[in-house]
Structure formats: structure tokens, C-alpha cells
Amino acid sequence: MSAGTAPRRGDFARLLRAEWTKFRTVRGWVLGLAVAALVIVTLGLLSASGSHTSCGGPGDVCSAVPVGPGGEAVDDKFYFVHRSLTGDGGITARVSSMTGHIRKPDVTPGARNVVDGVVPWAKAGVIVKDGTRQGSAYAATMVTGDHGVRMQYDFTHDIAGLPGGVSNDSPRWLRLTRSGEELTGYESADGRHWTTVGTARLAGLPETVQIGLFVASPGDLTVRQADFGGSIQQVRFAEATAVFDQVALEGRTSGGAWERDDIGVTVSPDGSLHHPGGFAQSGDTYTVTGVGDIAPLGEGQRIESTLSGLPAGLLGVIVVAVMFVTAEYRRGLIRTSLLAGPRRGRVLAAKAAVIGTVTFVAAAAAAGITVAVGTRILRSNGNPVLPVGTLTELRVIAGVAALPAVAAVLAFALGALFRNSAAAVTVAVSVIVVPHVLATTSVLPIGAAQWLLRLTPAAGFAVQQSIPEYPHVLAHYAPSAGYYPLAPWAGLAVFCAYAAPALGLAVVRIRRRDA
């Protein structure tokens, strides 16, 4: 027989079809995978249905979460002293001091413990903003409590300037200029020699914007270790006050008195303002007090909050994947499979491809349904869900589909290695699900939890994180709060780094030993 008519017993596509036929004709495997997907959906929707909020009290209306120019949830709350600017122009100001008050834990019950000081990310400076609507585009040059001079824009972008604080003995001059859609921030120690901090391009910035002074102060975050692992976080009120002078405007600005807006201030039911800022003018000196922050928002319900059933669903996936190979060993059918495809490595590869693919499809359907329906339920129960862009939502769904698929391949490989269902399932659950549960339930200290999610296959759970960490936002970035130490795809890559060698070892074993 010529080479062109050689038997095609080793053809990989034919092996794939054969393994797919095996899988779909065994009702237990199909049912098991369907149950795993159903568990993901059911537990996720039950969790969403059980989550209710009244936003502070009966009759309160839940306010929508502000959305930034990139579609991300933002915190946009600060005191703004401003005028309108039409066309190109700029603002220069000297910041001669920044002080504040921080509410600390009470030492004496009933006695408020307020200390002088500012939090590290308290901010005071000059800003150009597309109106006073929360979430509108902006660029700002600022001094901070403990991070030197910065230029920040559109909430997610942060550029570091020179380090150091500000005081009467060491003031800072700040400047922000506009040329079309381009804004440039400068700093100076003496008002004569200027250093560029950074440049931002704000697409779609209108002809007329608001330009002026601002102050913001996020809450004071304290984290302490709990008695039995994990941590407890508290955020307490903090405010900052900055003194500006030598304020100069360039360009076509509105005349008259400065306008003042307490952006994002909360209005109590009786009409009073909750923790308002303030403004005082004495000649050419301006004293501005503000609370809040201008930054991405990470606190609140997220789309992955609906995926609480994922670990339980993985248990079903692992069992099915292991049985897909160990059942053939137990019944002696593996010899038939190897006769149909003498190249043993290809047989295992075909089996792994089939179980991985069908798991991906089932998990993608489960994740898509759970996220879409679950977020709708959360919102209907009064829970503000942090918005994310469409690409981020698709990435979460695709990642959550890939996670069970990789878990299936790893579990399958362990089944091929051990050829014992109980042993393979136990090991797979121990290295995939257990580390994730330990790391995200505040059982372990944060450091230990983060290392588990860096070094074990549980790192793959990072694919479900929709809100990233931001270096310029002080928050409790712990696994129990939904933050993973690795980026989403990097975490999945660590998981794959376990599955691929395990499958390789299974191929080596089946090649070297009789079936």
C-alpha cells in the first residue's frame, strides 16, 4: 500500500470524533456536566436573590453609581471652586498648606476621637473638568497627603511628580493648561522654574469647561488582623483643608465671584448636607475644605458576585473529567481505544480536547446566564452593581468558561496518571478548590492567602475579577474582598502551567506502560 493510501487510524480528527461520540452516548457524563453547569447558575441566582439593600433605611432611593468616561464605576466627590473656561487657557495656584482631621477609633466610649492630619491620598490642586456632573472627564494637578505631586485624569490614570509634602515653609506651585483636548500639568518649588508632570488627552472635551481649585479626602482605612486569621477593615471619616494663593487664570474665563459646588455631597432626608465641604476667601487667599475622592470605585457588588456557585460547579466538572478516563481503565475499554489509535499520546490528547471543549461550552453558557440574570436580580433588590465595560464583561464570562475547562483537563490528566477515580478526584479538589476556599474565606492571613493564589492551580480564579487594583486608590486589596494577587490571564496561565505538565506525564506513562 502506498504512502498516499496508508490507513488513517492515527488521524487526530477521527480520534476527536470517536471521543466525542463516547462522551455524548454516556448519559451519566452528559448529565453530570449539565448538573455542574446548573449548580453554577442555581447557586449564583440564589445568592443574588438573597442579597437586598435599603440604601440606609426605609423609603431611601438607591442612587446610581457614577460612571467615568471609560465606563468604569467611579467615586467623584470633592469640593470644587470654579469658573468656566472657553477655549484654550489655564490656571496657576500656590498651595501653602494642607491640613485635616481624621476620625480614629474611640479611646473612651462615647467620646469622639478626632486627630489632626491628612490621609495619604488626600488631594488638593487645580483641575479642569467637563462640567460638574459626577463621572465627567477631568484632568488635575495636585499635591497629596503622602504621595507627592501627581497628575491624574479620567479617574484611572495617575502620573507621579516629585515626592514631598506641602507646608508654609515649603509651598508648591501647580499649573494646568489646556490646548484643545490636550491638558498639561506642571509643578514648581518657587513659581519660576517649572517641571512638567504629565500630559493627558481628553477625547471629546467640549469647548467650554469648568476650571478651578479642588480638595478631596478619602476615608481613613484601618486594617487589623482577626483573632483566627483573616482581617477586619474599617473606613472612617477624614477631611482635608488646603490654602491657595497667587491664583491666576489664563484664557476666556467667566467673571464675577467664584462658583462653588460640593460635588457628590450626600443630602440627608431633612435636606441637610452630610459631611459638607467649605470655602472661605480672604483677599487673594482661598481656603477650601473637602471630603471624598476622585478615583475609580472598587467597593460594591460586582458582576462576579453572581458566580458564587463556581467552586461547587467545579466539583461536578472534576468528577466527570476523571470518570471520562478512569471508566475505560476500570472496564478494560482503554485497550480498544488504543487499538483504534495506536499513537497513545494522540488518544489522550483527543480525550483531553473533548472534555475540555465540552466543559468550556457548558461553563460559558452557565456563566453568561448567571451574570446576565444575576446582575439584573441584584439591581432589582436595590443593590448598585459596579458597572464595567462590555469587553470586561465578556472577558469575565470567557475566563469563567476557561477555568472549568482547564480544571477538566487537569482532572482528566490526574485520572490518567492514577487510574483511580477516588485518588484523582481527591487530588484535583485539593489543589484547585480547597486553596481557593481557604484564601477567600478569611481563614488565613492575607499574605498566606495571596501566596496560595499565586502558586497553586487556584490562581486561575483570578479570571473572574472585574475590578482591578489601582495603585492610587487606598483599599483593602485582599482575596476575601475579591482582589487576586495576579492579573486575570496571568492567574489562568499559572493554572495551565499545572494542567499541561500533568497531561504530558499522563502521555509518558501510557506510552511506557501497558494500558
- Domain for residue 63, yes or no? no
Cα 4 to Cα 1, 7, 266: the distances in Å are 8, 9, 79
Higher-confidence residue of 388 and 361: namely: 361
In single-letter form, the type of residue at position 388 comes to: V
| Together in a domain, 95 and 237 | yes
pLDDT at 1 over 70: no
CA distance 99 to 275: 17
264 assigned to some structural domain:
yes
pTM: 0.84
Residue 257 counted as domain residue: yes
Same-domain check for residues 344 and 385: yes
Burial of 465 (0-12, 13-18, 19+ CB in 10 A): buried
- pLDDT, residue 230, reads 58
CA 428 to chain centre: 27
The answer to whether residue 5 scores a pLDDT higher than 80 is no
| Same-domain check for residues 190 and 330 | no
432-452 tens-digit pLDDT:
999 999 999 878 888 889 999
C-alpha R_g of the chain: 29
Least confident of 275-284, 326-335, 501-510: 326-335
Range of the domain at 453: 9-50+301-512
* Share of residues in the chain with pLDDT > 90 (%): 66
CATH value at residue 284: 2.60.120
Residues 208 and 341 reside in one and the same domain = no
pLDDT in tens, 447-466: 889 999 999 999 999 999 99
What average pLDDT does this structure show over 483-501?
96
Last residue of a domain, one of 296, 325, 341: 296
Number of domains composing the chain: 2
**pLDDT tier at 54, thresholds 50, 70, 90:** low
pLDDT in tens, 153-189: 999 999 999 998 888 889 999 999 999 999 999 999 9
Same domain for 479 and 392? yes
The proportion of the chain whose per-residue pLDDT surpasses 70, expressed as a percent, equals 89
> Are 241 and 349 within one domain?
no
Of 296, 326, 358, the domain-final residue: 296
Mean pLDDT for all residues in the chain: 88
Q: Out of 27-36, 280-289, 322-331, pick the least confident.
A: 322-331
Instruction: Kindly state whether residue 1 falls inside one of the protein's structural domains.
Output: no
**CA–CA distances in Å: residue 80 to residues 57, 197, 218, 447:** 29, 22, 15, 39
Which three cell numbers, joined as nine digits, stand for 386?
459596579
Mean pLDDT of 256-270: 82
What are the tens digits of pLDDT across the range 278-324? Answer: 999 999 999 999 999 999 998 888 999 999 999 999 999 999 999 99
User: Using CA atoms, how far apart are residues 474 and 477, in angstroms rounded to an integer?
Assistant: 9
> Do 185 and 242 lie in a common domain?
yes
Asked if residue 372 and residue 418 are part of one domain, the reply reads: yes
pLDDT score of 3: 45
Mean pLDDT of all residues in 484-504: 96
Please indicate, yes or no, if residue 131 is contained in any of the structural domains. Answer: yes
Q: What is the pLDDT of residues 58-104, one digit of tens each?
A: 444 456 788 999 888 999 999 999 999 999 999 999 999 999 999 87
Question: Per-residue pLDDT for 270 more than 70?
Answer: no
Q: What pLDDT shows up at residue 7?
A: 44
CA dist 407 to 27, 394, 413, Å? 21, 20, 10
CA dihedral 439, 445, 451, 452 (to 10 degrees): -30
Do 35 and 182 lie in one domain? The reply is: no
Same domain, residue pair 425 and 375:
yes
Domain-embedded: residue 413: yes
Q: Do residues 247 and 319 both lie within one domain? A: no
Asked if residue 112 has pLDDT above 60, the reply is yes
In a domain, 64, yes or no: no
Which pLDDT does position 56 carry in this prediction?
Answer: 43
pLDDT given at position 353: 95
Q: What is the pLDDT confidence band of residue 504, given thresholds at 50, 70 and 90? A: very high
Domain boundary (278, 296, 314) is at 296
Report d(CA 493, CA 263) in Å as an integer.
42
Amino acid at 494: V
The per-residue pLDDT for range 183-223, each reduced to its tens digit, is 999 999 999 999 999 999 999 999 999 999 999 999 988 77
Contact criterion met (CB below 8 Å) for 339 and 63: no
Higher pLDDT, 242 or 325: 242
Query: Is 58 a member of any domain?
Result: no
Stronger pLDDT, 61 or 44, i.e. the higher one: 44
Q: Are residues 236 and 138 in the same domain?
A: yes
